[in-house]
A and B are shown apart, each in its own frame.
Chain A
Amino acid sequence: MTKISQVSVGAQDATSKLFRAREHSVEVEARPLGGDDIKPRKFNPPLPRRYYLYLLAPAIGILAFISLYPFFWLIFLSMQDVDIMGGNWVGLENYANLLTDRRFLNGWSLLLKYSAACLFLQLTIGVILAVIVNNSRYEKVLVTALLMPMMMAPAVAGLLWLFLYNGTFGWYHWIMESLGILGSASILAKADTAMAAIVMVDVWQWTPLITLIALAGLKRVPRDQLEANMVDGASPLRNFFAITLPNLYPVLVIGVLLRFMDNFRFIDHILVLTGGGPASATKILPVYLFEVAFKFFKLGRGAAIALTLLLVTIVLGKILVSVFDKPKGSRS
């Protein structure tokens, strides 16, 4: 027993009159035909809550085992002076010691510089490449070519660049030396250029990811807005900054977050290229963490470093999201 009627979501809302919807009769909903003692048959009766709990239990159990248990174990571990065989409870001593550990502090400083440089370059180059490739005649070929570095394992990329940078037989070294960009020392042999070398590898390998994401975003930039802006006399550059870029923010935030977290995790190419040297110039915090945990087997100290890394990743991630969300908010 239904009837078609005009929906009046709010009588004062004139725009709602434009829409029509199927609506149940109030009488039918409120008073079933059979009277109060006859209840309508329920084909999908609500099940007790514990039934859903049983269904979810295996997934929750697995998640707890692979994620929550290690996380809490990590916290527990960080409060011990421990190797794999066991340890002594030291409370917050590991954290306190980190505050005076110059390798730890240096690791943070380098990580922030490295991450900022990588993100800035990847975003800038990635978006420019996406704009160039978008709607190009050779878009498919270009996208395929651009994706190639990303398909390479980071350790292999590191090895590849290690050969290119080599001061004895490296091709890039020869080019940079011939152009006068570098002296006779290879780029990895100086503390002040080694960081640039590892940033370059990361940018080479992961800029295509930003390009790909930006390209997907460019496809959904509303053409009517672009055209309207052009009709108003805006230049292509103004069009890009006023229309295209704001529309890209939601997708770019995903790319930035991914790359930001990757920079805090991926150290394969750094280990291959420099091992953190020379003179700790590329020993970003994750490299130091790897050393502490798996070379020195100081698992308690390693856990404390890992937790600080996790905490800062979360906080910085939140800040990044809010920064990228802001333009969107201002538009609305």
Chain B
Amino acid sequence: MFHKPKNALYSRVSRRKFLELGGYGATLLGTGSLAVGFNSVLMHSPVQAASSEEAKWKQYAGSKLVFLSENTPPSFAIRENIKAFYDLTGIEVEILTDDLPVVQQKTGIDLRSGKADYVLNYVQDKPIGAPFADFFVDQSRMFGDETLPQDPEGYGDGAWFENFLTACGRFYDESKVIALPYDSAVAATFYRQDLFEKHSKDFEAEYGYRLEFNNETTWKHVLDIAKFFKAAKESGMDVPYGYAQHQGSFAWTTQLDIQRLMFSHGQWIDFPIDDKLGSKTPGPTNWGDEQSVLMLEKFKELGDASHPDNLANGTLELNTVYQAGNLAMQVQFHEFAASVEDEKTSRAAGGRTAYAPCPKGEPSWIINGGQAVNGTNCGIGGIGINANASEDMQRAAYLFAIWSTSKQNQYEILAGLGGTPTRRSVLDIPEVAAARERPTSMPNALTFDAVYDYGIKDPHFVLGPKIPEANEYHSIIASETQAMLSGEMTPQETADILRQQLNDLNGNYPRRGIRWPVFRPPEIVLVGSERPPVGGPSGRLGD
């Protein structure tokens, strides 16, 4: 039926030969896969303390490292500029980027399985740092090591913006630094100055004060503004909605959203712990107290006056709504200023947007006797080193960590891709100082007054809670507050359920027992029968 060439390949190759060829092919493939699998490679030329600076940078020339990071501007910029690091050190660095939840999962699996496929990790404070802090290298032991190059500005708290090093580098233990601040996202208020000016008279006629935003603007004012714009919108006027929350599917930023309001009023926090350092045993939660119930009521009022897509908009989507001109005001992370000021994609660009710190607490809403502050939270992404890697691999990774967080690099990222610096000295660069005023070539610099000079400082700064169960905590907060905003529960019921669930969560810390690549019968795995549990007599970390 079919034409069969006399000299066809299958007629010339015997079955035995064919199988042999298949075997060779499989062997080659297997070898290749193994080579790809061992993607971190180490080459080492030992150096002495007295060696030249160049020798210290070059001591791991020929090595290869893998860095798993979030898809944020610094990572893209460093990937663009990675040749400079290669020229300096001879180390090849592969930078893999993904969305934060994916990075979080991959990092967790790598760290907790005892592997070091990713020697360098993006340590976002609560989502990655809090649950996995024990799996990162304490970099402070490399600070001042004379066989390693050192940053001339050092790594102390004074080298970074206030609270940054503690936010991403210190977890549960003051003496250890597990990450160096690499990029930052600090909350600030973005508002449409043009619309505020245009509607100021109407607003003043209705509410009795001018429609403006400054450091003293309170959450009550925000609620008034939100109601004013919503009423105008629904009456058919050509105005956008006034405000919207971060209540989309990303639980972490949803938690940050409500945290700002809570902290602004009497510096309310979830657990009676050191907010910046965190705790593995946070104890009973403060949810359910009178202050928290009142704040939930106000949060619900704010939700009711917000953009109708309030429960669908995560942080990114919210910014899209603002860029589209459908919102007069948002509390947003300062790294988004670059996109807001992009005239090609944003209707809020061209001087229409102004920046201010987060809203302040309304004194009449404080019933716990605390102070009214401009509650400002953030996500500080650090660069950490996987403790499962060998000592030399860790030292090679340290070279990248200090290079990528250096002043020059941060300046280049800010100027080139709209990054957000973490070193104080970057603000001293004349070009950066000039960029803080319009017209600017570095839009993120427009937020620096509100963020670096005000919001990130105490007493406004809030971070926590840093607890090992941070991710489940975020999920619980997001689910229950969204249920309240949907009208499924009252604020009192929400506070009660949060108290119950978070207290249950506290009694459920992960326990680190014996490593188990192979199956063991239950009696062997029982922690306590073999050795005392890690952490303390109760078996909980931190006891």
Chain A residues proximal to chain B, CB less than 8 Å: 69, 72-73, 76, 79-89, 103, 166-169, 183-186, 188-191, 274-281, 283, 291, 294-298
**B483 A279 Cβ-Cβ under 8 A:** yes
Structural contact, A169 and B472, CB atoms closer than 8 A = no
In the bound complex, do residue A167 and residue B472 qualify as a contact, i.e. CB atoms below 8 Å apart? no
A297 to B317, CA, bound (A): 28
Provide the main secondary structure of the chain B interface: loop
Q: Output the least CB separation between B542 and chain A (Å).
A: 15
Q: Which residues of A contact B313 (CB under 8 A)?
A: 189
Whether A86 pairs with B515 at a CB distance below 8 angstroms is yes
A103 to B479, CA, bound (A): 10
Picked from B249, B475, B516, B525, the residue with its CB within 8 Å of the CB of A89 is B525
Query: Which residue on chain B has the smallest CB distance to residue A274?
Result: B249
3 tightest A-B CB contacts, nearest first? A275-B249, A86-B513, A278-B311
Q: CA–CA, A297 to B107, complex, Å?
A: 12
B330 on the A face (CB < 8 A): no
Query: Which chain B positions have C-beta within 8 A of A169?
Result: 324
A86, B512: Cβ atoms closer than 8 Å: yes
List 19 additional contacts besides A295-B101, A295-B471; criterion CB under 8 Å: A69-B519, A73-B519, A80-B525, A84-B113, A86-B527, A185-B312, A188-B312, A189-B312, A191-B483, A191-B486, A274-B249, A277-B248, A279-B311, A279-B483, A283-B479, A291-B475, A295-B475, A298-B472, A298-B508
Interface size class of B (residues with CB under 8 A): 35 or more
CB proximity of B342 to chain A, nearest CB, Å: 16
User: How many whole Å from B248's CB to the nearest CB in chain A?
Assistant: 7
Does B105 lie within 8 Å of A295, measured CB to CB?
Answer: yes
B247 near A: Cβ within 8 Å?
yes
Interface residue ranges of B205-258 to A (CB < 8 Å): 247-251
State whether B514 touches A277 (Cβ < 8 A). Answer: no
Which residues of the other chain, B, contact A189 by a CB distance below 8 angstroms?
A: 308-313
Identify the closest chain B residue to A276 (Cβ). B249
A300 CB to closest chain B CB (Å) equals 10
Contacts of B511 in A (CB 8 A): 81, 83, 86-88
Shortest beta-carbon distance, B1 to chain A, in Å?
25
Within the complex, what minimum Cβ distance (angstroms) separates A155 from chain B?
12
Q: Which of B247, B249, B317, B508 has the most CB of A within 10 A?
A: B249
B522 touching A296 by the CB < 8 A rule? Answer: no
Interchain CB contact under 8 A, B539 and A83: no
B478 in contact (CB, < 8 A):
yes
Q: Which residue of A lies closest to B234 (CB)?
A: A184
Which residues in window 360-375 of B have CB below 8 A to A?
Answer: none
Q: Within the complex, what minimum Cβ distance (angstroms) separates A189 from chain B?
A: 4
Q: Are B309 and A167 in contact (CB under 8 A)?
A: yes
Which residue of chain A is the closest to B111 with respect to CB atoms? A84
The answer to whether B512 and A277 touch across the interface, beta carbons within 8 angstroms, is no
Give A294 to B101 CA distance when docked, in angstroms: 10
* Docked pose: A80 CA to B533 CA in angstroms: 14
Residue B488 lies at the interface, judged by CB distance under 8 Å to chain A: yes
